[in-house]
Amino acid sequence: MSEYFGGVGVDATVGTDGGRSSGAHDLVSLVVPFYNEADGIETFFREVTPVLERIPGIDYEIVCVNDGSADSTLERLLAVCADNPRVRVVDLSRNFGKEAALTAGIDEAQGAAVIPFDADLQDPPEAIARLVQRWREGFDVVLAKRAERNTDTYMKRGTAALFYRVHNAISETTIPENAGDFRLMSRQVVDALKQLPENRRFMKGLFSWVGFRTAQIEYERLPRTAGETKFSAWKLWNFALEGLTSFGTWPLRVWTYIGGGTALFAIAYAIYLALRTMIRGVDVPGYASIITAVLFLGGTQLIGIGVIGEYIGRIYMESKRRPVYIVRRVYRQGAS
């Protein structure tokens, strides 16, 4: 076992070979965050391992990241690790969240290609072979895009579609619709990702921001094999805000236009009142119109302050330069 403090200022040199190894077998790393997934671990390895072994011309490793699980996830992962030399377990010091756990796994992965993968098996393992095939055709990134979202509720499908539309309309970085973290990235792409210094990481945006030659496949998303989703409606809302504020300043810029529009409306209304007074004389304005205007302007100002506060909060958190994650131990077969 080895211990280290991880996640700070990873230095990497970007390669020029697009991630394709010149050896007979390419090493492919499957990166899997686990958080309270004890009930599904046996099923996960029973389904995934045979699929990886059937892909011709590759060696593989499975980098499992225990993201501070409170159940027996770590113990069950260690049991698998003890029997399988291709499995490595990265145990984080606490629950840092999926984005940090994914970053830890990507940093630990050693493959010529790296594939983030969910422990719930909603992404079918059989699709991995198709990702590898497109990578061998010369693509640096191969996206796995959901053909349908039938496993999601109607509300979740609607809000997801709205998020992608809004994000891609206001952001400088376009996120492919219905494409999650499941994708293949060459070593060149991974090394580029490891050079990005931010602590608050919206991985879908970072994956898109680095660019590179990209292909995509489509697949049918499956129901969860065990357990429940860890993303509540509130967490999804905060995740969406993270995405909307991570790759653009449009939410800040729009308040310039709102303020300008409000000022023009106020000037026009003042001119109207002046003309009406000259033509019809002075009258006593009503209380309702005054309080409505005050509440409207006050609410608008508070919303604008909230948006500014969101960005200031991000600056504050980034200025601390805390690590994205802390690794307690890395377990591998035969390590002491």
How does pLDDT run across 302-329, given as a tens digit for each residue?
777 777 777 777 777 777 787 888 889 8
Does the residue 129 lie in any domain?
Answer: yes
- Domain match, 70 and 113 both: yes
Would you say residue 75 lies in a domain? yes
- Structurally, how many domains does the chain consist of? 2
* pLDDT at position 301: 76
Q: Are residues 274 and 220 part of one domain?
A: no
Q: Would you say residue 15 lies in a domain?
A: no
| Statement: the pTM of the whole predicted model exceeds 0.85 | no
Dihedral of the CA atoms 182, 188, 190, 193 (nearest 10)? -110
* Rounded Cα distance, 218 and 48, in Å: 19
Write the single-letter amino acid at 7.
G
pLDDT at 49 over 80: yes
| Model confidence pLDDT, tens digit, residues 89-131 | 999 998 888 888 888 999 898 888 999 998 888 888 888 888 8
**7 domain-assigned:** no
pLDDT of the residue at 65: 92
Expressed as residue numbers, the domain containing 296 is 250-319
Alpha-helical regions (H) of 55-174: 73-83, 98-108, 127-136, 154-170
In order, the DSSP letters of 118-151 are -TT--S-TTHHHHHHHHHHTT-SEEEEEES--TT
Specify whether the backbone of 19 is left (phi greater than 0), alpha (psi in -120 to 50) or beta.
Answer: left
Amino acid 127: pLDDT:
87
Find the CATH number of the domain harbouring 223. 3.90.550.10
Place of tokens 């504020």: 245
Please say if the pLDDT value at position 287 is more than 70.
Answer: no
